[in-house]
Structure 1
Amino acid sequence: MYRFLLSRQWVILTLLGLVMIPVMIRLGFWQLHRHEHRVANNKIIAAALKAPPVPVETVTHPGYSVPHKDLYKAVSARGHFDTAHEVVARHRTAGAVSSDDQDGSGGQQVGYHVITPFVLDDGRAILVNRGWIDGGDNPYALPKIPAPPSGEITVIGRLRPDETSSETGIRNVKGLPPRQIMLINSTMLAKQVPDPLLGGYLEMVSAAGRTPTSPALIPEPDHSSIGPHLAYAIQWWLFSAMVPVGWVVLLRRERADILAARAKKAAEEAPREPEDSVPAAAGT
């Protein structure tokens, strides 16, 4: 009855199902881990945003790699801006940033992030992302950059790790126009700034002397959304459960079709009974 399971079609179908089940289960756990990472990331960001700022020089130093636990840590810096070595980061969108430590695409307008070294009182410096400005009509010309507050000031910001292509997906293009960069990275800019650069950079939150024409501050990162990863995990597990169910349904349908075909064939081959002959009526 079930010899059809040895056919080429059913062997391939069965092997395919046996491969798909563990693959989809694994994909479900992958999405679950992404969900757990997102939730943990949100907790880190929420705690960092609520904490009072600490002096930046107590958190980072030249060559320092900002760990994940310090993501968006609130810090303060006392010193002055060095506009002589100011640069702009290309192809940055205006809008919110994601909670996965990557620039988001909440806005569609592309422009620049203004990156200005901030020289601390001890002679070291930290890169400060002062915010977003419009890109203008010529992407190869340095845009007009609003001047930062002058003199000795205190800057409050969120600590960010140095950007890399592997973490952000931003390709580090060579041969850019002067004072334009792709990645905000203290190691890459260390040779262009005369003062020792602390590792990482700051997203400026506030500073005395800002004006309405100052660059638009980077919005606070989203730390409430958990994304669709948990739903995707459940979907993958449901799909894996549907594979054996579907296999059984197809099996029963195939068996029913075979039985129906056999019954029809048997009916066609069964001998027919001869029809009764009707005697002719005798004439009188």
Structure 2
Amino acid sequence: MYRFLLTPRWIVMALLVVVLIPIMVELGFWQLHRHENKVAHNDLISTNIKRKPVPAEELLAVGRKLPGDLQWRRVTLTGKYDAEHEVLARMRTQDGVVGYYVITPLVAADGRTLLVNRGWVRNPAEATDRPDVPPAPAGQVTVTGRLRPDETRKDSGIRDVGVPEGQVMRISGFELGPKLPHPVFGGFVELTEQAPTSAKAPALVPKPDDEDLGPHLAYAVQWWIFAFALLAMFVKLVRGEARELEAELAALDAAEADEHEEPAKV
């Protein structure tokens, strides 16, 4: 009855099902892993942001990249801004508007320096103009901010080629350190508080969303549904084909029986 499965058409269909179903299942698990990573990431954000700020010197080291479990931890550091070596990180969007992050080194009393993202400023009207950047406060300040890892590694190969003087594409102590006269901590901070405050300052970078999990779990379920639906459709087609062949054979048997039936006697 099912010998039709050995025909070229059905062999091709069966091979497609055998190939596609594992791919769909694997894509579902890939999306599930992305969901789990997002959950872990959001848990890290929520946990670290709620922790009490600690001195930056207790967690950071010069020339060492920021460990992953320290991301979003709040730290404090007292020092003086080095406005001379301030740079602008290009192509940064906030509330749907493109602008710059203002990165200003903060030099502690012992000379060690922490890159501080003081916040966001919008693009100027003309691309060739310099944006309006509120100056960093003079004198001693104490900053509190969220720890963020360098956006490039020392061996990344990414360079700020073709960008204007005083601007960068990535925020990285490994990239900016050689240009500064002081040793630089690994990582940088997104400013959340500053004392004393400034009358005018860049817009602070908003707190990350630690509740949005994205669509990954829904995508995982969708891929598994697709896999099940494909298998169910193939089985339905096979059974439908078998029923049609069975009906045709029954019709042939009935016709043969009619041909061999003797004429009725009068």
- Which residue type is aligned with residue 143 of structure 1? P
SS at match of 2:27: helix
Q: Is the 8 A contact 1:149 1:208 kept in 2?
A: no
Partner of 1:253: 240
SS at match of 2:100: strand
> What is the aligned counterpart of 1:163 among 151, 155, 159?
151
Matches for 1:1-284 after TM superposition, within 5 Å: 1-94=1-94, 107-164=95-152, 173-211=160-198, 213-262=200-249, 271=259
Report which stretch shifted further, 137-146 or 7-16: 137-146
- Which residue type is aligned with residue 74 of structure 2? A
SS at match of 1:20: helix
Q: Write the distance in 1 (CA, Å) between the matches of 2:22 and 2:250.
A: 39
Q: Write the distance in 1 (CA, Å) between the matches of 2:101 and 2:51.
A: 26
Change (3 A) 1:195 1:211: same
Partner of 1:104: none
SS at match of 1:220: coil
Q: Is the 8 A contact 1:118 1:125 kept in 2?
A: yes
SS at match of 1:154: strand
CA radius of gyration, larger in: 1
Partner of 1:278: none
Q: Is the 8 A contact 1:141 1:177 kept in 2?
A: no
Unaligned runs of 5+ in 2: 262-266
Displacement after TM superposition at 1:264 (Å)? 5.9
- Which residue type is aligned with residue 125 of structure 2? D
Partner of 2:264: none
SS at match of 2:162: coil
Unaligned runs of 5+ in 1: 95-106, 166-170, 274-284
Displacement after TM superposition at 1:150 (Å)? 1.7
Q: Write the distance in 2 (CA, Å) between the matches of 1:139 and 1:130.
A: 22
**% identical aligned pairs:** 44
Q: Write the distance in 1 (CA, Å) between the matches of 2:141 and 2:150.
A: 24
SS at match of 1:190: helix
Q: Write the distance in 2 (CA, Å) between the matches of 1:247 and 1:56.
A: 61
Q: Write the distance in 2 (CA, Å) between the matches of 1:212 and 1:272.
A: 108
- Which residue type is aligned with residue 207 of structure 1? Q
Displacement after TM superposition at 1:133 (Å)? 0.2
Which digits, 9 at most, give the CA deviation of each residue in 1:74-120, with x for residues without a partner? 000100111100010001001xxxxxxxxxxxx22100000001111
Which digits, 9 at most, give the CA deviation of each residue in 1:7-34, with x for residues without a partner? 1111111111111222222112111111
Q: Is the 8 A contact 1:140 1:177 kept in 2?
A: no
> What is the root-mean-square deviation in Å for CA atoms of aligned residues?
2.4
SS at match of 1:191: helix
Displacement after TM superposition at 1:249 (Å)? 0.3
Q: Is the 8 A contact 1:148 1:210 kept in 2?
A: no
Partner of 1:279: none
TM-score, normalised relative to structure 1:
0.84
SS at match of 2:178: coil
Q: Write the distance in 2 (CA, Å) between the matches of 1:139 and 1:61.
A: 37
SS at match of 1:210: coil
Displacement after TM superposition at 1:272 (Å)? 11
- Which residue type is aligned with residue 183 of structure 2? P
Displacement after TM superposition at 1:138 (Å)? 2.7
SS at match of 1:11: helix
SS at match of 1:164: coil
TM-score, normalised relative to structure 2:
0.89
Displacement after TM superposition at 1:267 (Å)? 7.2
